[in-house]
Amino acid sequence: MLGTVYESFHETSFLNPDPKFVGFPPHQRVLADRTVHTVLPNSIVATLGVVLLQNILGFLTALLLNQQLPMQGVLRAIVLLPFILPGVVAAILWRFMYDPQLGLVNSLLLQVGLIDHSIAWLADSRMAMASVIVAAVWKGFPFSMLIYLAALQNVDQSQIEAATLDGAGPVRRLFDVTLPAIRDVVVVNIVLTLILTLNYGDIIWALPKRGPQSVTHYYPTEILETRLRPRPLGVALGPRGGGPPPRGACGMKPPRPPRLILMLLQLLLAAAVLLPFFWMFSVSLKPATEPFAIPARLWPSSPTIDNYVTAFRPEFRTYFFNSLVVSLSTVIITVTLGLLAAYSFTRAQLAAMSALVGLVVLAQMFPHSAIIIPIYKMMRSAGLLNTYWSRIFWDIVVPLSRPGLIATSVYVLIVTWQEFLFALSFTSTKDMRTLPVGLNDFIGQYGIRYGELMASSVMVSLPVMAIFFFLQRYFVAGITAGAVKG
Other beta carbons within 10 angstroms of residue 482's beta carbon come to 15
The pLDDT value given to residue 405: 64
Is 474 part of a structural domain of the chain?
A: yes
Residue 360 has pLDDT above 70, yes or no: no
d(CA 63, CA 65): 6
> How many whole angstroms separate alpha carbon 110 and alpha carbon 405?
48
pLDDT for 134: 93
Residue type, 156: D
Contact 145, 62 (CB under 8 A): yes
Q: Residue 225: name the closest of 366, 33, 46, 12 by CA.
A: 33
In angstroms, the CA 106 to CA 115 distance is 8
Q: Does residue 207 lie in a domain region?
A: yes
> Does residue 158 form part of some domain?
yes
Residues 186, 187, 192, 198, CA torsion sign: positive
Where in the sequence is the domain holding 11, given as residue range(s)?
A: 2-306+451-483
If one counts the domains in the chain, the total is 1
Residue 162 pLDDT > 90:
no
Which three-class secondary structure state does DSSP give residue 441?
helix
Residue 402 within a domain: no
pLDDT tier at 349, thresholds 50, 70, 90: low
CA distances, 362 to each of 195, 350, 365, 473 (Å) = 12, 19, 5, 28
Please give the helix or strand (H or E) that residue 141 lies within, else none.
helix 128-152
- Classify residue 240: in a domain, yes or no: yes
DSSP letter string, 108-138: HHHHHTS-SS---TTT-TTTHHHHHHHHHHH
Q: Distance between CA 334 and CA 399 in Å, rounded?
A: 8
- What CATH number does the domain containing 266 carry? 1.10.3720.10
Judged by DSSP in three states, 253 sits in: coil
Question: 201-238 as b/e, with b when 16 or more CB fall inside 10 Å?
Answer: bbbbbbbbebbbebbbbbbbbbbbbbbeeeeebbbbbb
SS3 11: strand
Average pLDDT over residues 50-59: 94
Q: Which residue has the higher pLDDT, 36 or 81?
A: 81
For 264, residues 6+ apart whose C-beta sits below 8 A from its C-beta are none
Report the chain's terminal Cα–Cα distance, integer Å.
27
How far apart CA 188 and CA 194 sit, in angstroms, is 10
Q: Which pLDDT value is given to residue 131?
A: 92
Residue type, 322: N
Asked if 388 and 326 count as a contact pair (C-beta separation under 8 A), the reply is yes
Q: Is 306 helix (H, G, I), strand (E, B) or coil?
A: helix
When pLDDT is cut at 50, 70 and 90, the band that residue 167 belongs to is: confident
Is residue 169 within 8 A of residue 86, CB to CB? The reply is no
* Mean pLDDT value across residues 479-486: 56
Q: Are 133 and 197 in contact (CB under 8 A)?
A: no
pLDDT at 242: 41
Residue 53 has pLDDT above 90, yes or no: yes
C-beta neighbour count of 116 within 10 angstroms: 7
CA gyration radius, the chain = 24
Q: Identify the top-confidence range among 196-210, 298-312, 382-396.
A: 298-312
Using CA atoms, how far residue 465 sits from 270, 283, 293, 319, 458, in Å, is 16, 19, 30, 18, 10
Residue 456 DSSP one-character state: H
Q: Residue 368 — pLDDT band, cuts 50, 70, 90?
A: low
pLDDT score, position 245? 41
CA angle 190, 193, 199 (to 5 degrees): 150
Residue 438 binned pLDDT confidence (cut-offs 50, 70, 90): confident
pLDDT of residue 450: 81
400 has a pLDDT exceeding 60:
no
pLDDT at 304: 93
Q: What is the pLDDT of residues 100-148, one digit of tens each?
A: 888 889 989 998 999 988 999 988 888 888 998 999 999 999 989 988 9
With respect to residue 155, please indicate whether it lies within any of the assigned structural domains.
yes
Residue 177 DSSP one-character state: I
Q: What per-residue confidence (pLDDT) applies to 158?
A: 87
Q: Please give the Cα distance from 132 to 50 (Å, whole number).
A: 9
Q: What is the rounded CA–CA span in Å between residue 16 and residue 12?
A: 6
At 163 the pLDDT is 85
What's the confidence (pLDDT) of residue 220? 66
Average pLDDT over residues 417-437: 81
CB 368 within 8 A of CB 421: yes
pLDDT tens by residue, 104-114: 899 899 989 99
> Region 34-41: what's the mean pLDDT?
74
pLDDT above 50: residue 472: yes
Contact 240, 29 (CB under 8 A): no
| Residue 426 within any structural domain of the chain | no
Residue 92 forms part of a structural domain:
yes
Question: What tens digit of pLDDT does each residue of 327-347 get?
Answer: 888 888 877 877 777 767 666
Per-residue pLDDT at 276: 92
Q: Report the distance separating Cα 323 and Cα 303, nearest Å.
A: 29
pLDDT beyond 60 at 486: no
Residue of 319, 262, 313 whose CA lies nearest to 439: 319
